[in-house]
Structure 1
Amino acid sequence: MKKLIAVRGGSGNIIEPKVGTRPQDNMYLAVNSEWLEKTEIPSDRSRMASFDGIDVNVEKHLMADFADFAAGKKDIPNVPNMAKAVELYKLAKDFTKRNEDGAAPIKPDLELLTGIRDFSDYNLNAPDLATFASIPFGLSVEPDMKNTKVNVLNFAGPGTFLPDTTTYETSDAAKLLAILQKQSVKLLEMAGIETADAEKYAADAIKFDAKLAKVVKSAEEWADYPACYNPMKIADFEAKFKDFKIAYYLKEVIGEEPDRIIVEEPRYLDHINEIINKSNFDEIKGWMIVNFINDAASDLSQEFREAAFPFSQALSGQPELQSGEKQAYHIANGAFSEVVGVYYGQTYFGADAKKDVEDMIHRMLAVYEERLQNNTWLSEATRKQAIVKLEALELKIGYPDKIEEIYDRLQVIPASQGGSLYSNGRAFAVEEQKYNIEQLHKEVDRTIWAMPGNLVNACYDPQRNDLTFPAAILQAPFYDLKQDRATNFGGIGSVIAHEVSHAFDNNGAQFDEFGNMTNWWTDADYAEFKKRTQAEIDIFDGIEYGPVKLNGKQIVSENIADQGGLTAAVEAAKNEGDDLKKLFENFARIWANKQLTESIKTQTAVDVHAPGPERANVQIQCQDDFYDVFNVKPTDGMWLDPDKRVHIW
């Protein structure tokens, strides 16, 4: 899994807008009610938020550019591999060919899957199957948490059909799984599978998924990054497997048996023989086939796309399927994300804006260092180490100077040479797997960017101790060169400090300035930090948000970052004599969000971010300056008693 901590999270608006609401009673509604009343969620989306508003514009610009490149109305820019992205876009947009082909592109792979005879056959073919189908575990090469100069092999369990293990405990679970089962049968029939066989595959898949859901990690558990680090000697790891020939699998897929492996899901490994065994063969086979047909359908005809939509629609509430043209752009953008991001940054991100944002980042870092210097609950030893880590932060702003090597390796085979959208995607997956495995014996490349330039987001990577601010987020309402500084502090300033705060949240605090998982705290300081972290958990835990209750533990890292981000932004604005009223207003504005009920359920099941209204209101309630600026009284809705306000960074 990518151990990245991003600013963007899903949230919903289930608070009725009320124009004229006083900031003292509900800051979020005071700022956003008019926007909430006027904003409509597009029919091919399940929400609209400040992030999404920017994303819609980015999407609009890039879709128009891709259409012009494909039609020859614009020259393809001299960005490495951009021509490949355009060629893939053409393939994806050619629905005449996609509709004519029907299921033909996937037939050979589907026949391989359905042709697996027994568990021995499965053992023999698993390494090849893993290049295009789901296997009930995953291997990946990532930086070693305790020595981030080197890469190491990681092991984890698979995902479940429903968004999270907790979703299986809800009243919606049976209905959602029934939709998936019915959808899978239809897709398999469309691909030429006999009805009786399709029904058995789908039923077996649901049974196997139920077994997985009992032992894989929940979103709350995944939110604890250090708990993912469980090194094992390879001999001890292999001894855990009985029926499945893991040593053979490793040699075939990786080319060797490494000395050790990092187990990200120890519980899953402990139960591995209950999951992967001869008795479960039919269920494993059905699960692989159902995963395959549902994943592959989006690369086929319009008929397949429509048949694969009901389950996604049930999870998100999205009224309509995305148009074919829009899908074509997103496929090209997904496969060549960094390439498209560089093009976007070079074309739409100005040098003046980058310079101004860099200046603001350094101002926020200076404020953060000052706050650490003046911290009253850290000892001098811990405070010094925190400042060392802060000063070691690497900054990535806008878009990268070089494009990662993997994009050079991806080759697009056009339809004229026998290529299909599916065959190209399959070849990409094989090359990406090979590239990832090759990193096992290479030093970690710290220049790699975690996010492309056209993504409306930002992140902190604890294992590289770096901050990434893509070009796309560096615009209104987060940032505008023409906005006053206070408004920018409430937007991008708080986002910058949010990402800095991740270096010192419940996960980041356990990594040093090199990204190594090392304890740099005194025992007394860490005990106080855990006490304050618990207060952050408690203040959000159990908040009712429409159909759900928030899990304070699951969202604590992002809430710590929000708290530190807003606090530092307020401090920076005060230092410059800026208008704090505008700062608080824009902080509330950047979390404006409308979302469909089904999507709220899905998002909150897996997201480590609090919903937008709560991110705005609860964090503002914890800022002492807010009460002075808006003259908030104990009788007002936004009042929070001083002893209940959470202060960490």
Structure 2
Amino acid sequence: MRHSIYKIGAVTLGLTIGLGLTSCNEPKKSTATEATEEVAIDKKPTDYLAIDLANFDTTVRPQDDFFMFVNGNWLKNNPIPASETRWTSFSEILERNREILKRVAENAANNTSASPTSAEGHVAAFYKSGMNKEKREEMGLKPMEIYLEAINKAATLEEFLKVSADQKSVAGGLFSMYVTADEKNSSTNALYLNQGGTSLPKSYYEVADLKEKLNAFEKHVANMFVLMGENEETAAKKAQHVVAIETALAKVSRTPAERRDTEKNYNKMTFAELQKLSPNVDWKAHLSDVGVQNIESVENVILGTPEFFTGLSKILKSNSLDALKDYQKYQLASSFSNFLNSAFEKEAFDFYNKTMRGQNEMQERWKLVLNVIDRSVGHSLGQLYVKEAFSPKAKERAEIMIKDVRAGFEDHIKSLEWMGEDTKKQALTKLSAITTKIGYPDTWKTYEGLELSEDNYAQNFMNASSWWLKDNLAKVGQPVDKEEWHMTPSTVNAYYNPTSNEIVFPAGILQPPFFSEYADDAVNYGGIGAVIGHEISHGFDDQGSQYDAEGNMNNWWTDTDKEQFKERTTSLINQYSEYTVLEDINVKGDATLGENIADLGGMAVAYDALQKAWARDGKPENESGFTPEQRFFISWAQIWRVNFTDDELRNRIETDYHSPGMFRANGPLSNFDPFFTAFDVKEGDKMRREKQIVIW
């Protein structure tokens, strides 16, 4: 996982946790839900309510728990569907988007005249093959057999590593690798190697309280080997090998909090230095086998976690060849599970979704297939989506809001009491250089050379995975394409990319309750306006602040100002670390720091941007018994409404760089004077911290 892209933290089709951009070729797990009504984009929906009073719990004082005051009845009336592990405002948007995506996919599948290489042709092939359950059952294990045979034939460690390299696109392997902008030379792409190779978060291998989950994982691995033809006794032994190797990999991996140290994550070295660090792999040969072209001309590689590769080298030497081959077989089967027959699919679901996250039912088939299409040929699907779902008026209004929020952030920088003039000048330079992308790319990927068929879902997965890996690795040493998008248009999310110094808002998130062309400014600025502010604030959080206006990791701070910044961020860490979930688990304030900074700054800047909009366009009257200022804060709180299963919440505390929604709503407000004024929050009230934290 790379830390170069920071997201709002939402439900998406291809990614379910907003943690950073995964290498394009890596398999991603996703969730789906049952569809709700579609919201028309060409006229105001008759049932549209920017703020629905029925969602409020008026038995809760807003001064005590604003999240529950705004969302209490919504939480009661919106239980988590059996096919979900959480239900959120993002989920509601996603459901409407899915209905549109289903319609365009079915239309593509029914269009017999579409070219196989067109956007419609790509979507049609994937959709037809994914929906053909009979064909998948008929093929069974066959799509994976050629890979299993290659693993079985490996007779030495060198041969095993060659097989692992050959299978990198479909099985992931012992570590992660990707090509992206060199963080200290952001105009050129570089090759990154990072930790990886585990199926669970690091803590699940090490914390005694999570031992039950690790035992369940071992049983799941054994079940997968049974499905691959082993008897139960042999399968159990092979599962022990897999768990032992993954536990060893987890031991030499960094925690999520440790991976927030941007400078520590950047370790450029020559191949000779890498070879000395990790001697049991011929790294040039291995990476060439993976697919890096002209490896002899690649001078450097950037390691995120050098100690992991030292440990990996030892793990390769200390484990038997049979154990390593068992590990590779499981990684392969896990990646293929959703593309094989129902037995594999159900086994993977029962562990990763039911046991780990509390999801009781599998999603409907068409939703699962749409997830795969989105992450495989998302630009093809996106072209069909935006034709139906993205209003030009929405884009125009979003552009105005971005200008207002940017201006608000500029005012905040200029008025900071804790920052010196020299650092302010650099911050303002960076702010003015931030570029914006809205809706969808100007140039679509065409997936040239990708072959897809209408009757082989697994082969389509393999071909798409190989295409993405080849596409990514071809960028080594090449200029960075600043126009490239790292999310698909239908994604219900947004991101900031520090190496390009850009903020990006796909069409998928420009929907109610975050945004509507029919809502008044108070509601829109409290929703998508705060999201805009959130993404801009990522450029100035604990990680983003280490990059300059050109996107290079470069210190533009004076020592005094850096110390002042650290003092305030430490206070924010302490604030969020006090929040408790499930009675015995605390939010990890250090791991979630960047998102908490962005929430705090984004909300505050959006509020000031709203004042600019009112000064320009006029301030509206009270509505539904609330002042315009109150509606802003209500809108902010309602975008974070969420119900979790206990297992999902526990899992997110261990893995997610975002705090749970209730704290994302209340945490920033408890530091904000205009909120206190709007809702008469007095000293001593629970929603008012004794000492407010102001960063941006």
- Structure 1-normalised TM-score? 0.94
Answer whether contact 1:454 1:471 (CA < 8 A) is retained: yes
Q: Which has the higher contact order (CA 8 A, sep 6+)?
A: 1
Aligned match for 1:480, one of 510, 516, 519: 516
Output the amino acid matched with 1:344. Answer: Y
Output the amino acid matched with 2:323. Answer: E
The Cα of 1:62 is off from its aligned counterpart by 1.1
CA pair 425-375 structure 1, distance change in 2 beyond 3 A: same
Query: Following the alignment from structure 2 to structure 1, what is the Cα–Cα distance between the partners of residues 115 and 96?
Result: 20
1:377-526 equivalence runs, <5 A: 377-404=418-445, 407-415=447-455, 420-526=456-562
The Cα of 1:390 is off from its aligned counterpart by 0.7
The Cα of 1:486 is off from its aligned counterpart by 0.9
Answer whether contact 1:231 1:262 (CA < 8 A) is retained: yes
Of 615-624 and 571-580, more deviation after overlay is shown by 571-580
Corresponding residue of 2:677: 628
Aligned match for 2:654, one of 601, 605, 609: 605
Query: Following the alignment from structure 2 to structure 1, what is the Cα–Cα distance between the partners of residues 575 and 670?
Result: 11
Aligned match for 1:59, one of 94, 98, 119: 98
Corresponding residue of 2:414: 373
Corresponding residue of 1:46: 85
CA pair 97-172 structure 1, distance change in 2 beyond 3 A: farther
Deviations 1:462-500 (A, max 9, x none): 111000011111111111111111111110111101111
The Cα of 1:129 is off from its aligned counterpart by 3.4
Aligned match for 1:245, one of 282, 286, 296: 282
Query: Following the alignment from structure 1 to structure 2, what is the Cα–Cα distance between the partners of residues 327 and 632?
Result: 46
The Cα of 1:80 is off from its aligned counterpart by 4.7
Say which SS state the counterpart of residue 219 (structure 1) adopts: coil
CA pair 77-242 structure 1, distance change in 2 beyond 3 A: closer
Stretches of structure 1 that go unaligned for 5 or more consecutive residues are none
Say which SS state the counterpart of residue 170 (structure 2) adopts: coil
Query: Following the alignment from structure 2 to structure 1, what is the Cα–Cα distance between the partners of residues 415 and 182?
Result: 33
Deviations 1:354-375 (A, max 9, x none): 1011011111111111222222
Corresponding residue of 1:539: 575
Of 541-550 and 315-324, more deviation after overlay is shown by 541-550
The Cα of 1:326 is off from its aligned counterpart by 2.1
Corresponding residue of 1:32: 71
The Cα of 1:131 is off from its aligned counterpart by 4.1
Query: Following the alignment from structure 1 to structure 2, what is the Cα–Cα distance between the partners of residues 224 and 345?
Result: 38
Say which SS state the counterpart of residue 440 (structure 1) adopts: coil
Say which SS state the counterpart of residue 383 (structure 1) adopts: helix
Output the amino acid matched with 2:412. Answer: R
Corresponding residue of 2:8: 7
What is the root-mean-square deviation in Å for CA atoms of aligned residues? 2.2
Aligned match for 1:70, one of 109, 115, 136: 109
CA pair 375-536 structure 1, distance change in 2 beyond 3 A: same
Query: Following the alignment from structure 1 to structure 2, what is the Cα–Cα distance between the partners of residues 124 and 572?
Result: 56
Say which SS state the counterpart of residue 154 (structure 1) adopts: strand
Answer whether contact 2:376 2:465 (CA < 8 A) is retained: no
Output the amino acid matched with 1:563. Answer: L
Output the amino acid matched with 1:586. Answer: S
Corresponding residue of 1:205: 242
Say which SS state the counterpart of residue 408 (structure 1) adopts: coil
1:205-284 equivalence runs, <5 A: 205-253=242-290, 254=292, 255-257=294-296, 258-277=298-317, 279-284=319-324
Output the amino acid matched with 2:249. Answer: L
Deviations 1:275-300 (A, max 9, x none): 22154433322211111112211101
Corresponding residue of 2:184: 146
CA pair 371-150 structure 1, distance change in 2 beyond 3 A: same
Deviations 1:226-267 (A, max 9, x none): 321111122111122333322321343324142111111122
CA pair 110-125 structure 1, distance change in 2 beyond 3 A: closer
Output the amino acid matched with 1:336. Answer: V
The Cα of 1:511 is off from its aligned counterpart by 0.3
Corresponding residue of 1:127: 165
Corresponding residue of 1:307: 347
Query: Following the alignment from structure 1 to structure 2, what is the Cα–Cα distance between the partners of residues 238 and 385?
Result: 39
Of 51-60 and 424-433, more deviation after overlay is shown by 424-433
Query: Following the alignment from structure 1 to structure 2, what is the Cα–Cα distance between the partners of residues 508 and 601?
Result: 27
Stretches of structure 2 that go unaligned for 5 or more consecutive residues are 11-16, 19-54, 620-627
Answer whether contact 1:85 1:335 (CA < 8 A) is retained: no
Deviations 1:516-548 (A, max 9, x none): 001111111111111111111111113211252
The Cα of 1:271 is off from its aligned counterpart by 2.2
The Cα of 1:77 is off from its aligned counterpart by 11
Say which SS state the counterpart of residue 496 (structure 2) adopts: strand
CA pair 333-268 structure 1, distance change in 2 beyond 3 A: same
Output the amino acid matched with 1:541. Answer: S
Aligned match for 1:291, one of 331, 336, 339: 331
Say which SS state the counterpart of residue 262 (structure 1) adopts: strand
Say which SS state the counterpart of residue 226 (structure 1) adopts: coil
Query: Following the alignment from structure 1 to structure 2, what is the Cα–Cα distance between the partners of residues 8 and 295?
Result: 24
Query: Following the alignment from structure 1 to structure 2, what is the Cα–Cα distance between the partners of residues 483 and 177?
Result: 48
Corresponding residue of 1:614: 663
Answer whether contact 2:116 2:122 (CA < 8 A) is retained: no
Say which SS state the counterpart of residue 48 (structure 1) adopts: strand
CA pair 624-80 structure 1, distance change in 2 beyond 3 A: farther
Query: Following the alignment from structure 2 to structure 1, what is the Cα–Cα distance between the partners of residues 532 and 113?
Result: 36
Corresponding residue of 2:62: 23
The Cα of 1:138 is off from its aligned counterpart by 2.7
Say which SS state the counterpart of residue 475 (structure 2) adopts: helix
Query: Following the alignment from structure 1 to structure 2, what is the Cα–Cα distance between the partners of residues 347 and 239?
Result: 55
Output the amino acid matched with 1:603. Answer: R
Corresponding residue of 1:356: 397
Give aligned pairs, total.
636
Query: Following the alignment from structure 2 to structure 1, what is the Cα–Cα distance between the partners of residues 60 and 504?
Result: 36
Answer whether contact 2:179 2:191 (CA < 8 A) is retained: yes
The Cα of 1:82 is off from its aligned counterpart by 3.1
Query: Following the alignment from structure 1 to structure 2, what is the Cα–Cα distance between the partners of residues 490 and 120?
Result: 57
Output the amino acid matched with 1:386. Answer: A
- Structure 2-normalised TM-score? 0.87
CA pair 305-123 structure 1, distance change in 2 beyond 3 A: closer
Query: Following the alignment from structure 1 to structure 2, what is the Cα–Cα distance between the partners of residues 128 and 279?
Result: 21
Of 332-341 and 581-590, more deviation after overlay is shown by 332-341
Is 1:137 the equivalent of 2:175?
A: yes
Corresponding residue of 1:176: 213
The Cα of 1:435 is off from its aligned counterpart by 1.6
The Cα of 1:510 is off from its aligned counterpart by 0.6
Query: Following the alignment from structure 1 to structure 2, what is the Cα–Cα distance between the partners of residues 79 and 537?
Result: 50
Answer whether contact 1:234 1:260 (CA < 8 A) is retained: yes
Answer whether contact 2:108 2:120 (CA < 8 A) is retained: no
Deviations 1:181-207 (A, max 9, x none): 222322322233344443322110011
